[in-house]
Amino acid sequence: MTQDPTSMTNPGAAGASTRKVFIKTYGCQMNVYDSGRMADALSADGYVPTETMDDADLVLLNTCHIREKAAEKVYSALGRLREHKKARAAEGKEFLIGVAGCVAQAEGEEISRREPAVDVVLGPQTYHRLPQALQKVRAGERVVDTEYALEDKFEHLPDPTRIPGKPRNVTAFLTVQEGCDKFCTFCVVPYTRGSEVSRPLAQLLAEARKLVDAGVRELTLLGQNVNAWHGEDEKGRAIGLGDLLYRLADIPGLARLRYTTSHPRDMDDRLIEAHRDLRILMPYLHLPVQSGSDRILKAMNRRHKASEYVALIERIRSVRPDIALSGDFIVGFPGETDEDFEDTMKLVREVNYAQAYSFKYSTRPGTPGADLPDHLSEDVKGERLARLQALLLEQQQAFMHSKVGQTMELLLEKPGRMPGQLIGRSPWLQSVNVDAISSQIGDIINVRINAIGPNSLFAEVAPG
């Protein structure tokens, strides 16, 4: 997906500089956060954002390696940028190309070899060095920096601030944890993002306060395994994500908290208690299970059983009955039988998801799953995915219909398409359209849901 670069940058010391940067972001929410922090870093180098590539002096592709053929898509985009670079060079204008993110980490020098037009390649742990890398590029070097940084990159990034003249962002991401030690056999994250690392409590509280001071009302905590976050409080006591949520909930002006993505093995008692105690913590949980078959879960190295996952959901719902569940599913994992797939369908019916993401298994070179026997045909995987998605869509539509007639709080985030219309998010992360002429972005108002669309809800301002 392409994210609007103007929504995630800090003009910093740009001043009268004419340098402009266009950032194209692929993949996960953490990449969205990383793109914003790269833009923050670039502000110190005199860059300001542009919404169109043609205006840019620097184009950054912040890449994701999770989806199939991710690298090929990046190389295709680089081919188009190469031609644009030639045209700009003929005009005597600078046009630099950078590749960052997980494809950069995985491919490294291969990117420079296959596409000489690329000036800089940076992995997810080194993007704070971007201004220094660009200085080297202007001195005639090509930079490939995919070593895992020894220093804390967050200590080297400028503070996030509001962009003068731009509407404030009332929601923001905050990366609290990076990397993964789980080594699921289908996943490249441990190889592209490294081992699990948690940011210090004081650093997170400071950044959260600055975001709130800049107008943010809702924070989404991010991590490859966000509920694996751990740290120490001011007295040196070990704490986890639940404790962090309690601390963030005390920040004046912060109205909402969310977090993603979680692993079932890291869902501890304190975190479940936070869902019970904190009204600021929204009743929506993304908790991937991937499969409902114990045999396939073992082959995936998930280290939990389907029954344990279902029992965990029951515990969470016992303390927060209105919580909405989201999940991830992979169908057609090597060796998956009809019975294994039916176990997944059974789990989906038992849990009843408000939303979920589902994919056909696709091989990731270098992962253990790539070497497993009994890979399934695309036809079998496609048929199973279609059946699963039909069930998930049925559940999603039922959840949306259940909200019709309800009154709920809505955080207004942006203008709608129609005059006087604003768009906000429900506590359950649904997009809601409402005519709210007397309200403004950043307000939290009570609305009554009166209709549903294909992917959103429609509401009217509730009386009183």
Query: Known binder of ligand: residue 444?
Result: no
Confirm if 254 and 248 have CB atoms less than 8 A apart: yes
The residues near 350 (Cβ < 8 Å, ≥ 6 apart) are: 310
DSSP letter string over 78-145? HHHHHHHHHHHHHTT---EEEEEEHHHHHHTHHHHHH-TT--EEE-TTSGGGHHHHHHHHHTT--EEE
Locate tokens 């019975």: which residue? 339
Can you tell me the distance from the alpha carbon of 246 to that of 184, in angstroms, rounded to the nearest whole number? 30
Give the Cβ contact number of residue 175 at 10 Å.
Answer: 21
236: left (phi over 0), alpha (psi -120 to 50) or beta: left
Cα 347 to chain centroid, rounded:
25
DSSP reduced 3-state for 60: strand
- Nearest alpha carbon to residue 116 among 147, 79, 77: 79
Query: Known binder of ligand: residue 187?
Result: yes
- Helices then strands, counting H and E runs in the chain, come out as 13, 21
Angle between helices 130-138 and 29-43 (to 10 degrees): 60
Query: Known binder of ligand: residue 291?
Result: no
Can you tell me the distance from the alpha carbon of 143 to that of 311, in angstroms, rounded to the nearest whole number? 50
Query: Known binder of ligand: residue 180?
Result: yes
Can you tell me the distance from the alpha carbon of 39 to that of 147, in angstroms, rounded to the nearest whole number? 21
Can you tell me the distance from the alpha carbon of 445 to that of 39, in angstroms, rounded to the nearest whole number? 32
Query: Known binder of ligand: residue 64?
Result: yes
Which residues make up each annotated binding site for [4Fe-4S] cluster? 28, 64, 102, 180, 184, 187
* Residues that constitute the known binding site: 28, 64, 102, 180, 184, 187
